[in-house]
Amino acid sequence: MYEGSLVEFDKETFRKLFPNLAKELESGENKTVVNSVRTDVQAGEKAASKRFTHYDPDVIDFLRRCDTDEQAEEIIAYMEKRGEIEKGYAEKLRKQLKENGLRSFGSKKEENYYLKHGGF
């Protein structure tokens, strides 16, 4: 077949040549919904990334962005005050911070971490 050429089949011929494909198409299963169209490739790729979709950072994610113990303490206090972490957990975090240091929560998450690691 040459590029740009068009081949047409009636339904019956198509069913005979491609019985499994015809069955799949006619069954209505395996449908994919297209809910938007983008002409900008980068915008489309950003929208299509799923890695951090619906991801809700926790206190450890925020602590890993801190540069100092003081910043970490502020994060713990803020989240405890808002009820996002319980008092007992906040105390454990403070103890870990004091005894093992800020990096004991993990390496520092760099600027634009989610953009760089989320496939955006």
CA 39 from centre of chain: 22
pLDDT at 48: 52
pLDDT at 120: 47
pLDDT at 1: 47
The domains of the chain are located at 59-117
pLDDT at 41: 62
**Could you give the residue ranges of the DSSP H alpha helices within 1-120?**
11-17, 19-27, 41-48, 59-63, 69-81, 87-100, 113-117
What is the distance between the alpha carbons of residues 16 and 20, in angstroms, rounded to a whole number? 9
CB burial of 98-107 (b: ≥16 within 10 Å; e: otherwise) equals: eeeebeebee
pLDDT tens digits, the chain, 120 residues: what are they? 456 677 788 889 988 988 888 888 788 776 655 555 555 666 655 555 555 555 567 898 889 889 999 999 999 999 999 999 999 999 999 999 999 999 998 888 776 655 555 654
As a whole number of Å, the end-to-end CA separation of the chain is 38
pLDDT at 108: 83
pLDDT at 30: 64
pLDDT at 72: 95
What is the distance between the alpha carbons of residues 64 and 71, in angstroms, rounded to a whole number? 10
In the 8-state DSSP scheme, what is residue 104? G
pLDDT at 99: 94
